[in-house]
């Protein structure tokens, strides 16, 4: 009786270890992005045995699991809990002898996926199976057993609104059965959504707010500052001559510049090829029309994946790298402000973890309204927007 509970105790110890490691990785759920989901798996299992009274077998494995994932800058940690069922059969040539084995067991999984591209990721996975007969004994096995199966997994994920469907493949091989070589190949379909995160109060790492761009109207002359009378003076001050009124810009005809957006490679500060070509074209226009503007701000952005403080640092590095690129093209550094916004200003049209969130935005803060229309046309023509 005692021996029957040993595998179950091992599985509980493994579950406790996985929960402990996951808690350490997740930290404060108020600041770290977490997602949860459901998955289905189907695949084939082969059992090669060294026991005289057993026959090599193969069959089908089905599994369903609930998942909890934590996404960091370096990759995604995943914890899964579910039920797996397997059925294998085998026959000995020329003898008519057949054997089969089947079981249903509790499944625990821990995996780490490293992103290769925006959609593709791969990495190691570890799975534990606890139940009666999970070691594929020849006869019906009523003893609780524990099967430990490390392996490797690959996944292709995409985003649809707030949902993230994914297709995956995995290969696992048992390492704690001396008498059998047990291997499983699985294809999976899963869907996940982000864990509700409370943003809380802003911290010191919160990116600064950007002032709304203010166009500077072209003026024939500046008004002198108003003179203030000195109460202690006995001689009256002369009345200042009337100044020429400052012309007002017609708000209905005022030119407004939206931020110019440039895409950034994942987990990097470099622009992709097309955005780099666009940035060089923008720099040429800024140099050519240098008298039409006086201040721009370069803002780096990240998606919602990872620690907020690290995201602000990464976005700041992206903005600085873009400013260096503009300086090399002839833009004076003193006419630029470079800010890291982190994941503060996500684009609502895209998923919080979408590659579209990783971007550089260039905003014209001060420009000459009289020259703005032709200036804007020059920019739009080279950027093809």
Provide the token pair at 369.
Answer: 């309204």
Question: Which CATH topology does 251-383 take?
Answer: 60s Ribosomal Protein L30; Chain: A; (3.30.1330)
Give me the pLDDT at residue 76, please.
Answer: 84
As a whole number of angstroms, the distance between CA 259 and CA 242 comes to: 40
Residue-level pLDDT at 115? 80
What is the CATH code for 2-22+31-90+98-194? 2.40.160.20
Q: What is the pLDDT of residue 61?
A: 95
Confidence at residue 325, expressed as pLDDT on a 0 to 100 scale: 86
E strands of 265-322, at which residues? 293-301
Determine the pLDDT at residue 31. Answer: 38
Contact 93/123 with Cβ under 8 angstroms? no
* Rounded Cα distance, 76 and 267, in Å: 13
Whole-number Å distance between alpha carbons of 32 and 50: 48
Instruction: Parse the chain into domains and list their residue ranges.
Output: 2-22+31-90+98-194, 251-383
28 is written with which tokens?
């404060």
User: What per-residue confidence (pLDDT) applies to 234?
Assistant: 44
Q: Which regions of the chain does DSSP assign to beta strands (E)?
A: 34-49, 57-72, 75-91, 98-115, 120-132, 144-157, 163-173, 180-194, 260-263, 293-301, 336-340, 359-367
Average pLDDT per consecutive 10 residues, the chain (385 residues; last block may be shorter): 44 49 44 76 93 89 92 79 93 78 92 83 94 76 82 87 85 91 95 60 44 48 44 47 50 71 74 82 88 89 81 88 88 90 85 81 85 82 74
| Beta-carbon contacts of residue 34 (< 8 Å; ≥ 6 apart) | 26, 68, 69, 70, 71, 194, 195, 197
Q: Measured between alpha carbons, how far is residue 180 from residues 82, 125, 212, 287, 293 in Å?
A: 24, 21, 69, 72, 75
């Amino acid at each position: 009786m005692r021996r029957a509970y040993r595998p179950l105790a091992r599985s509980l110890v493994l579950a406790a270890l996985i929960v402990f490691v996951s808690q350490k990785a997740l930290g404060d759920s108020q600041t770290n992005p977490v997602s949860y989901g459901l998955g289905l798996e189907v695949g084939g299992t082969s059992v090669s045995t060294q026991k005289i009274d057993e026959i090599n077998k193969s069959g089908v494995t089905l599994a369903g699991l609930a998942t909890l994932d934590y996404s960091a800058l370096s990759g995604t940690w995943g914890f899964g809990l579910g039920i797996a069922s397997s059925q294998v059969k085998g026959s000995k040539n020329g003898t008519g002898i057949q054997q089969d084995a089947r079981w249903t067991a509790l499944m625990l999984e821990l995996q780490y996926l490293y992103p290769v591209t925006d959609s593709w990721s791969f990495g190691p996975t570890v799975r534990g199976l606890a139940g009666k007969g999970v070691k594929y004994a020849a006869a019906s096995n009523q003893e609780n057993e524990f099967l430990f199966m490390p392996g490797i997994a690959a996944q292709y994920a995409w985003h649809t609104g707030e949902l993230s469907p994914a297709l995956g493949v995995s290969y696992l091989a048992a390492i704690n059965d001396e008498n059998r070589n047990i291997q499983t190949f699985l294809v999976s379909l899963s869907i996940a959504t982000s864990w509700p995160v409370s943003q809380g109060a802003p911290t010191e790492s919160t990116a600064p707010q950007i002032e709304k761009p203010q166009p500077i109207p072209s003026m024939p002359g500046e008004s002198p500052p108003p003179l203030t009378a000195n109460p202690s003076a006995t001689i009256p001050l002369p009345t200042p001559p009337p100044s020429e009124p400052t012309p007002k810009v017609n708000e209905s005809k005022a030119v407004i510049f939206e931020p110019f957006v440039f895409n950034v490679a994942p987990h990097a500060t470099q622009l992709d090829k097309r955005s780099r070509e666009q940035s060089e074209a923008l720099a040429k226009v800024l140099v050519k029309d240098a008298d039409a503007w006086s201040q721009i701000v370069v803002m780096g952005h990240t998606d919602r994946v990872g620690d907020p403080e690290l995201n602000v640092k990464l976005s700041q590095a992206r903005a600085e790298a873009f400013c260096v690129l503009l300086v090399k093209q002839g833009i004076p550094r003193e006419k630029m402000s470079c800010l890291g916004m982190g994941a503060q200003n996500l684009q609502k049209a895209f998923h919080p973890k979408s590659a579209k969130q990783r971007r550089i935005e260039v905003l014209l803060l001060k420009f000459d309204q009289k020259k703005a229309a032709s200036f804007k046309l020059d920019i739009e023509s080279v950027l093809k927007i």
